A = this chain, B = another copy of it.
Amino acid sequence: MIGINTIKFIRSLRLKKNRRLDKKVILEGFRLICESINAGIKIDYIIVIENFESDLLNQKQFRNQSIKYCSKNNFHKISDTKNSQGIIAVADIKKYSNQSLDEIKNNNLVILDGIQDPGNLGTIMRTSVWYGVNSIALTHNTVDPFNLKCMRSAMGAHFYLNNIIQDDYLNIINYLKNNYKNIYVADMQGENLNKIKSNGNWALILGSEAHGIKSDFKQFKQITIKKFGQLESLNVSVASGIVMNHLRNNS
């Protein structure tokens, strides 16, 4: 059974400043924890509610993991979800601290500017990993990628990424100019995506739905998804998938 100090520690990780300080993150939910272990992340320990279905823990992912039990009452104190499955892990994110743009090494890159919804951010990270992107760069006004909701919607994508970088947008723009030939900005008034053929690696910039993309980013090639019906815009994570699917199949 876990004690009061573990409960306090886990609750402290709900705050970004503590996640940064301790270089630890919370993973909640069975599938997220399995996917994260598959991705090779180091799990410090896993906490399960006292009546947790023990069959699930027989899966190969849970061999050699440190499993701790927790009373129902205490589990509610550490859980962040309404209908919790009763399983939480604490994982190490030291790997992602103090990373710089120079570590990206000119692979396909996704840049996110000012995305505030952690569910969207996580879904874009998941989509990026599906399309073989292994680095993400976020401007400082983007939500923290280690936010609990972002972790849940990313489904372990974090741990397949080599680089999760947060930097000033001007540094990101400089880096792009010096390292990429194909730089695309998803926007409402750009060239039809269907006409884009990228030779070699690319960088894709996506902005917030509410505020759009910073004007400084508009110096790069703006591309637009063709609309066939109504409504002003697509959800940004859906747009990210459509653009990445096109770029990967046409480069």
Contact = CB atoms under 8 A, between A and B. Distances in A.
Contact of A242 (B210, B227, B242): B242
Given A245-B242, A249-B226, A234 B194 contact: no
B130 A231 contact: yes
Contact of A228 (B228, B231, B248): B248
Interface stretch (A57-65, A86-94, A153-161, A215-223): A153-161
Interface in A198-251: 210, 225-235, 237-242, 245-246, 248-249
12 contacts: A123-B235, A123-B237, A126-B238, A129-B231, A130-B234, A131-B227, A155-B231, A160-B230, A234-B241, A235-B241, A238-B241, A242-B242
A208 to B, nearest CB: 13
Nearest to A127: B238
Q: How many copies does the complex hold?
A: 2
Contact of A237 (B157, B237, B245): B237
A35 interface: yes
B234 A156 contact: no
A132 B231 CA distance: 10
A238 B131 contact: no
User: Which 7 residue pairs spanning A and B have beta carbons closest together?
Assistant: A132-B229, A238-B241, A132-B228, A242-B245, A160-B230, A123-B235, A228-B248
A133 interface: yes
